[in-house]
Amino acid sequence: MAYDIYQEEILEHYKKPHNKGSIDHPDLFGHGNNPVCGDDISIYVKVEDGVITDVRFDGRGCAISQASVSMLTDRLKGMRLSEARKLDADEIKEMLHIPLSAVRLKCATLGLKVFQEASGGLS
């Protein structure tokens, strides 16, 4: 199957998430959950001169939610906040490279939704 390599990457991010933890005194903080499957994510962001210098997440959830927020935090580091606010669900789908049902898309985009609400970006 063509998706095998991407599924492996998702499992790696789930088992060993990048940027997991919190930040003391973050410039931005957000929290959200997906009651349908129990995903729960908090995001902590440090911003200096309009650039995201550090971003961490904490929480629990399914492999898709945890892997996508791990990948998202990797992507956000070093981005201008103004550009990061423009990220959308298509960016998440592109990072994951697997087909997503409507329910799974909510899992995959929870981290982005929490970030956007914390940063005043798209909703």
Q: Which domain holds residue 16?
A: 4-119
CA distance 65 to 47: 24
CA distance 49 to 31: 24
Amino acid occupying residue 52: I
> At 5, is the pLDDT very low, low, confident or very high (cuts 50, 70, 90)?
low
Residue 3 has phi, psi (to 5 degrees) of -90, -5
Q: Please tell me the predicted confidence (pLDDT) of residue 92.
A: 94
CATH number for the domain harbouring residue 80:
3.90.1010.10
Tally of domains in the chain: 1
What pLDDT, in 10s, does the model give residues 11-64? 899 999 999 999 999 999 999 999 888 999 999 999 999 999 999 999 999 999
Distances (CA, A) of 47 to 25, 35, 38, 57, 82: 11, 30, 29, 15, 11
